[in-house]
Amino acid sequence: MNLKHIKLYSLFEIFEFTKFSFGRTLISNTNEVLLNTFRLVEFLSFKGIKIEKKGNSIFFNYLINDKSFSINLKKNSSDIEVFKQILIEEEYEIIIDFFQNNNSSPVTIIDAGANIGLTSMYFMAYFPELCIIALEPSQKNFQRLSHNIKENNLSNVTCVPKGIWGYNSNLSAVKDSEDWAFRLTERSDSRSELCEVLSVSEIIKKFDLKLIDFFKIDIEGAEASVFSEKANLSWLNIVKVIAIEIHADFASKDCIENVLLEFGFLIHYSGELTIGFNSKFVDNDL
Protein backbone atom coordinates (compact mmCIF):
# COMPACT_ATOMS: atom_id res chain seq x y z
CA MET A 1 0.00 0.00 0.00
CA ASN A 2 1.20 3.50 -0.84
CA LEU A 3 1.57 5.09 2.62
CA LYS A 4 0.84 8.52 1.11
CA HIS A 5 -2.79 7.45 0.76
CA ILE A 6 -3.21 5.64 4.08
CA LYS A 7 -5.46 8.43 5.38
CA LEU A 8 -8.00 7.52 2.68
CA TYR A 9 -8.77 4.24 4.45
CA SER A 10 -10.34 3.10 7.70
CA LEU A 11 -8.53 0.80 10.16
CA PHE A 12 -10.53 -2.16 8.89
CA GLU A 13 -9.57 -1.37 5.29
CA ILE A 14 -5.89 -1.04 6.26
CA PHE A 15 -6.08 -4.45 7.94
CA GLU A 16 -7.61 -5.99 4.82
CA PHE A 17 -4.93 -4.49 2.57
CA THR A 18 -2.20 -5.76 4.92
CA LYS A 19 -3.71 -9.22 4.74
CA PHE A 20 -3.77 -8.96 0.94
CA SER A 21 -0.10 -7.98 0.82
CA PHE A 22 1.05 -11.16 2.60
CA GLY A 23 0.44 -13.36 -0.40
CA ARG A 24 -1.95 -15.13 -2.70
CA THR A 25 -3.18 -17.54 -0.02
CA LEU A 26 -5.04 -14.67 1.63
CA ILE A 27 -6.29 -12.92 -1.49
CA SER A 28 -9.48 -14.97 -1.64
CA ASN A 29 -10.37 -13.83 1.88
CA THR A 30 -10.02 -10.14 1.06
CA ASN A 31 -13.14 -8.28 -0.06
CA GLU A 32 -12.94 -7.90 -3.86
CA VAL A 33 -14.78 -4.57 -3.81
CA LEU A 34 -12.27 -3.25 -1.27
CA LEU A 35 -9.41 -4.43 -3.49
CA ASN A 36 -10.98 -2.60 -6.43
CA THR A 37 -10.92 0.61 -4.39
CA PHE A 38 -7.26 0.02 -3.58
CA ARG A 39 -6.42 -0.62 -7.24
CA LEU A 40 -8.24 2.52 -8.36
CA VAL A 41 -6.46 4.69 -5.79
CA GLU A 42 -3.13 3.29 -6.96
CA PHE A 43 -4.09 3.92 -10.61
CA LEU A 44 -5.08 7.52 -9.89
CA SER A 45 -1.91 8.04 -7.85
CA PHE A 46 0.20 6.75 -10.73
CA LYS A 47 -1.45 9.35 -12.99
CA GLY A 48 -0.64 12.09 -10.47
CA ILE A 49 -4.28 12.75 -9.58
CA LYS A 50 -4.97 14.29 -6.17
CA ILE A 51 -7.59 12.41 -4.16
CA GLU A 52 -9.59 13.74 -1.22
CA LYS A 53 -11.66 11.75 1.24
CA LYS A 54 -14.96 12.95 2.71
CA GLY A 55 -16.83 10.42 4.81
CA ASN A 56 -17.11 7.21 2.83
CA SER A 57 -16.39 8.86 -0.53
CA ILE A 58 -13.33 9.85 -2.52
CA PHE A 59 -13.24 13.02 -4.62
CA PHE A 60 -10.94 13.88 -7.51
CA ASN A 61 -10.82 15.62 -10.88
CA TYR A 62 -10.50 13.39 -13.92
CA LEU A 63 -9.73 14.27 -17.54
CA ILE A 64 -12.08 12.93 -20.20
CA ASN A 65 -11.10 13.98 -23.72
CA ASP A 66 -8.87 16.67 -22.16
CA LYS A 67 -11.79 18.12 -20.20
CA SER A 68 -11.77 18.06 -16.39
CA PHE A 69 -14.70 16.53 -14.54
CA SER A 70 -15.37 16.47 -10.81
CA ILE A 71 -15.83 12.84 -9.75
CA ASN A 72 -17.00 11.47 -6.42
CA LEU A 73 -17.19 7.75 -5.75
CA LYS A 74 -18.29 5.78 -2.73
CA LYS A 75 -15.40 3.67 -1.49
CA ASN A 76 -15.81 -0.10 -1.45
CA SER A 77 -18.90 0.07 -3.64
CA SER A 78 -19.95 -0.69 -7.18
CA ASP A 79 -19.05 2.93 -8.07
CA ILE A 80 -15.47 1.75 -8.51
CA GLU A 81 -16.38 -0.91 -11.07
CA VAL A 82 -18.67 1.49 -12.95
CA PHE A 83 -15.87 4.07 -13.12
CA LYS A 84 -13.45 1.43 -14.40
CA GLN A 85 -15.78 0.18 -17.13
CA ILE A 86 -16.83 3.59 -18.41
CA LEU A 87 -13.81 5.85 -17.92
CA ILE A 88 -10.78 3.54 -17.79
CA GLU A 89 -11.76 0.66 -20.09
CA GLU A 90 -13.95 3.04 -22.15
CA GLU A 91 -16.58 0.51 -23.15
CA TYR A 92 -18.44 3.24 -25.05
CA GLU A 93 -15.44 4.35 -27.12
CA ILE A 94 -16.70 2.33 -30.11
CA ILE A 95 -19.79 4.56 -30.16
CA ILE A 96 -17.74 7.76 -30.01
CA ASP A 97 -15.70 6.40 -32.93
CA PHE A 98 -18.88 5.61 -34.88
CA PHE A 99 -20.13 9.19 -34.77
CA GLN A 100 -16.72 10.70 -35.43
CA ASN A 101 -16.00 8.35 -38.35
CA ASN A 102 -19.37 9.22 -39.87
CA ASN A 103 -18.71 12.96 -39.44
CA SER A 104 -21.78 13.17 -37.28
CA SER A 105 -22.42 14.73 -33.88
CA PRO A 106 -25.24 13.13 -31.89
CA VAL A 107 -28.03 15.46 -30.80
CA THR A 108 -30.06 13.32 -28.39
CA ILE A 109 -29.09 10.47 -26.07
CA ILE A 110 -31.20 8.48 -23.64
CA ASP A 111 -29.12 7.22 -20.72
CA ALA A 112 -31.40 4.60 -19.14
CA GLY A 113 -29.91 3.36 -15.91
CA ALA A 114 -27.82 6.51 -15.55
CA ASN A 115 -26.57 5.49 -12.09
CA ILE A 116 -24.36 8.38 -10.84
CA GLY A 117 -23.92 9.98 -14.27
CA LEU A 118 -20.53 8.73 -15.50
CA THR A 119 -21.81 7.71 -18.95
CA SER A 120 -23.45 11.11 -19.40
CA MET A 121 -20.19 12.82 -18.43
CA TYR A 122 -18.25 10.66 -20.88
CA PHE A 123 -20.43 11.60 -23.85
CA MET A 124 -20.64 15.27 -22.88
CA ALA A 125 -16.84 15.40 -22.93
CA TYR A 126 -16.88 14.55 -26.64
CA PHE A 127 -20.14 16.21 -27.70
CA PRO A 128 -20.75 19.25 -25.45
CA GLU A 129 -23.82 20.40 -27.42
CA LEU A 130 -25.51 17.07 -26.84
CA CYS A 131 -28.86 16.79 -25.03
CA ILE A 132 -29.07 13.82 -22.68
CA ILE A 133 -32.13 12.38 -20.95
CA ALA A 134 -30.72 10.54 -17.93
CA LEU A 135 -33.16 8.14 -16.26
CA GLU A 136 -32.43 6.65 -12.83
CA PRO A 137 -35.20 5.06 -10.71
CA SER A 138 -33.20 4.55 -7.48
CA GLN A 139 -33.76 7.51 -5.14
CA LYS A 140 -30.25 7.35 -3.66
CA ASN A 141 -28.56 7.03 -7.05
CA PHE A 142 -30.77 9.79 -8.46
CA GLN A 143 -29.67 12.21 -5.73
CA ARG A 144 -26.03 11.53 -6.55
CA LEU A 145 -26.71 11.70 -10.30
CA SER A 146 -28.35 15.12 -9.91
CA HIS A 147 -25.49 16.35 -7.72
CA ASN A 148 -22.82 15.20 -10.19
CA ILE A 149 -24.57 16.76 -13.18
CA LYS A 150 -24.98 20.07 -11.32
CA GLU A 151 -21.41 19.97 -9.95
CA ASN A 152 -20.05 19.69 -13.50
CA ASN A 153 -22.41 22.34 -14.94
CA LEU A 154 -23.90 19.92 -17.46
CA SER A 155 -27.00 21.96 -18.16
CA ASN A 156 -27.87 19.91 -21.25
CA VAL A 157 -28.46 16.79 -19.14
CA THR A 158 -32.03 16.34 -17.93
CA CYS A 159 -32.24 14.01 -14.93
CA VAL A 160 -35.46 12.00 -14.64
CA PRO A 161 -36.22 9.93 -11.49
CA LYS A 162 -37.81 7.08 -13.41
CA GLY A 163 -36.88 3.76 -14.99
CA ILE A 164 -37.95 2.11 -18.22
CA TRP A 165 -40.15 -0.95 -18.59
CA GLY A 166 -42.36 -2.55 -21.23
CA TYR A 167 -45.23 -0.31 -20.12
CA ASN A 168 -45.98 2.51 -17.64
CA SER A 169 -46.21 1.26 -14.06
CA ASN A 170 -45.02 1.52 -10.45
CA LEU A 171 -42.70 -1.30 -9.44
CA SER A 172 -40.83 -2.51 -6.38
CA ALA A 173 -37.04 -2.22 -6.30
CA VAL A 174 -35.27 -5.32 -5.00
CA LYS A 175 -31.75 -4.60 -3.71
CA ASP A 176 -28.94 -6.90 -4.76
CA SER A 177 -25.46 -7.07 -3.27
CA GLU A 178 -24.02 -4.19 -5.32
CA ASP A 179 -25.03 -0.52 -5.07
CA TRP A 180 -25.80 -0.41 -8.80
CA ALA A 181 -27.57 -3.78 -8.75
CA PHE A 182 -31.12 -3.36 -7.66
CA ARG A 183 -33.74 -4.73 -9.97
CA LEU A 184 -37.35 -3.86 -10.60
CA THR A 185 -40.12 -6.36 -10.05
CA GLU A 186 -43.89 -6.36 -10.39
CA ARG A 187 -44.18 -8.15 -7.05
CA SER A 188 -45.55 -5.83 -4.38
CA ASP A 189 -43.41 -5.56 -1.25
CA SER A 190 -44.11 -2.92 1.40
CA ARG A 191 -40.45 -3.03 2.48
CA SER A 192 -39.16 -2.17 -0.99
CA GLU A 193 -38.66 1.23 -2.59
CA LEU A 194 -41.38 2.02 -5.12
CA CYS A 195 -40.11 3.19 -8.51
CA GLU A 196 -42.04 4.77 -11.34
CA VAL A 197 -41.28 3.32 -14.76
CA LEU A 198 -42.22 4.45 -18.26
CA SER A 199 -42.37 2.67 -21.57
CA VAL A 200 -39.89 3.84 -24.20
CA SER A 201 -42.81 5.06 -26.31
CA GLU A 202 -43.98 7.23 -23.39
CA ILE A 203 -40.50 8.75 -23.00
CA ILE A 204 -40.39 9.54 -26.72
CA LYS A 205 -43.81 11.19 -26.48
CA LYS A 206 -42.94 13.08 -23.28
CA PHE A 207 -39.79 14.62 -24.81
CA ASP A 208 -41.16 14.85 -28.37
CA LEU A 209 -38.26 12.87 -29.81
CA LYS A 210 -38.04 12.37 -33.56
CA LEU A 211 -34.64 10.66 -33.49
CA ILE A 212 -32.52 9.01 -30.78
CA ASP A 213 -28.87 9.12 -31.74
CA PHE A 214 -27.78 6.81 -28.94
CA PHE A 215 -29.82 4.77 -26.50
CA LYS A 216 -27.95 3.26 -23.55
CA ILE A 217 -29.80 0.56 -21.61
CA ASP A 218 -28.25 -0.76 -18.39
CA ILE A 219 -31.30 -1.48 -16.27
CA GLU A 220 -30.46 -4.59 -14.25
CA GLY A 221 -32.70 -7.10 -15.99
CA ALA A 222 -35.62 -4.80 -16.86
CA GLU A 223 -34.55 -5.15 -20.49
CA ALA A 224 -36.55 -8.42 -20.44
CA SER A 225 -39.74 -6.35 -20.17
CA VAL A 226 -38.60 -3.63 -22.60
CA PHE A 227 -37.91 -6.24 -25.30
CA SER A 228 -40.75 -8.66 -24.47
CA GLU A 229 -43.12 -9.94 -27.15
CA LYS A 230 -45.92 -7.77 -25.73
CA ALA A 231 -43.89 -4.55 -25.83
CA ASN A 232 -44.20 -1.98 -28.61
CA LEU A 233 -40.76 -1.96 -30.23
CA SER A 234 -41.46 0.41 -33.13
CA TRP A 235 -39.24 3.00 -31.40
CA LEU A 236 -36.22 1.02 -32.61
CA ASN A 237 -36.84 2.54 -36.05
CA ILE A 238 -35.70 5.96 -34.81
CA VAL A 239 -32.63 4.76 -32.89
CA LYS A 240 -29.24 5.14 -34.58
CA VAL A 241 -27.15 3.25 -32.01
CA ILE A 242 -28.17 1.18 -29.01
CA ALA A 243 -26.02 -0.34 -26.27
CA ILE A 244 -27.50 -2.87 -23.87
CA GLU A 245 -25.97 -4.65 -20.91
CA ILE A 246 -27.97 -7.87 -21.02
CA HIS A 247 -28.35 -9.61 -17.65
CA ALA A 248 -28.60 -13.30 -18.49
CA ASP A 249 -30.40 -14.19 -15.24
CA PHE A 250 -33.43 -12.17 -16.35
CA ALA A 251 -33.26 -11.69 -20.12
CA SER A 252 -32.36 -13.82 -23.13
CA LYS A 253 -29.41 -12.40 -25.03
CA ASP A 254 -30.40 -14.38 -28.14
CA CYS A 255 -33.96 -13.03 -28.07
CA ILE A 256 -32.86 -9.40 -27.71
CA GLU A 257 -30.23 -9.76 -30.43
CA ASN A 258 -32.80 -11.34 -32.75
CA VAL A 259 -35.08 -8.34 -32.21
CA LEU A 260 -32.23 -5.99 -33.11
CA LEU A 261 -31.44 -8.01 -36.23
CA GLU A 262 -35.11 -7.91 -37.29
CA PHE A 263 -34.98 -4.10 -37.10
CA GLY A 264 -31.84 -3.96 -39.24
CA PHE A 265 -29.19 -3.46 -36.58
CA LEU A 266 -25.59 -4.60 -37.03
CA ILE A 267 -24.37 -6.16 -33.79
CA HIS A 268 -21.00 -5.60 -32.14
CA TYR A 269 -19.67 -6.14 -28.62
CA SER A 270 -17.63 -4.04 -26.21
CA GLY A 271 -16.89 -5.39 -22.75
CA GLU A 272 -20.23 -6.45 -21.29
CA LEU A 273 -22.20 -4.41 -23.83
CA THR A 274 -24.20 -5.63 -26.80
CA ILE A 275 -24.14 -2.76 -29.29
CA GLY A 276 -26.45 -2.36 -32.27
CA PHE A 277 -25.84 0.06 -35.16
CA ASN A 278 -28.95 0.76 -37.21
CA SER A 279 -28.01 -0.03 -40.83
CA LYS A 280 -30.29 2.79 -42.04
CA PHE A 281 -27.88 5.31 -40.50
CA VAL A 282 -24.52 3.67 -41.21
CA ASP A 283 -22.49 5.45 -43.90
CA ASN A 284 -19.13 3.74 -43.35
CA ASP A 285 -18.20 0.11 -42.78
CA LEU A 286 -17.93 -0.78 -39.10
Nearest partner of 136 among 99, 110, 105, judged by Cα: 110
For the purposes of burial, counting CB atoms within 10 Å of the CB of 272, is it exposed (0-12), middle (13-18) or buried (19 or more)?
middle
Alpha carbon distance 191, 188 (integer Å): 9
Task: Say yes or no to pLDDT of 106 above 80.
Answer: yes
Q: What is the mean pLDDT of residues 239-268?
A: 96
According to CATH, what is the number of the domain 77-281?
Answer: 3.40.50.150
For residue 11, name the pLDDT band (cuts at 50, 70, 90).
very low
User: In the chain, what are the domain boundaries?
Assistant: 3-60, 77-281
Q: Is residue 275 over pLDDT 70?
A: yes
In percent, the amount of the chain with pLDDT more than 90 equals 65
Q: What is the pTM of this model?
A: 0.86
Assign 18 to helix, strand or coil.
Answer: helix
Distance, in Å, from the CA atom of 30 to the CA atom of 181, rounded to the nearest integer, reads: 21
106/28 Cα distance (integer angstroms): 44
For 141-190, write each residue's pLDDT tens digit. Answer: 999 999 999 999 999 999 999 999 998 776 666 666 555 455 666 655 55
Q: Which of 15-19, 56-60, 221-225 has the lowest mean pLDDT?
A: 15-19
3-state secondary structure of 80: helix
